[in-house]
Amino acid sequence: VSGKTKGSIMPDFDDLNKLEVRVGPSTEYAPAIEFGSHGGRRKAKPFMTPALEKQRKPFLAAIAQVIEEGSRG
């Protein structure tokens, strides 16, 4: 993944009233890197999906901790 694509990975707080944040690159060619393109001629080189999977358990554990601490109130 190019430095430009790595540097473009940022959170997007679309609606601050929702518990939702989107994180991803903003370069126009990032989807082609992640998923491949040109009918399979350019192989996929996933970088966001593996990062998501690596952080899934720690993220869910952090959410559970916040909920638990909040319930003790």
Q: Is 48 helix (H, G, I), strand (E, B) or coil?
A: helix
Quick check: 65 and 51 in contact, CB under 8 A? Answer: no
Q: pTM of the entire structure?
A: 0.76
Q: pLDDT grade, residue 30 (50/70/90)?
A: very high
Look at residue 39 in the predicted model and tell me its pLDDT.
83
Query: 37 or 38: whose pLDDT is higher?
Result: 37
Look at residue 56 in the predicted model and tell me its pLDDT.
95
What percent of the chain clears pLDDT 90, i.e. is strictly above it? 73
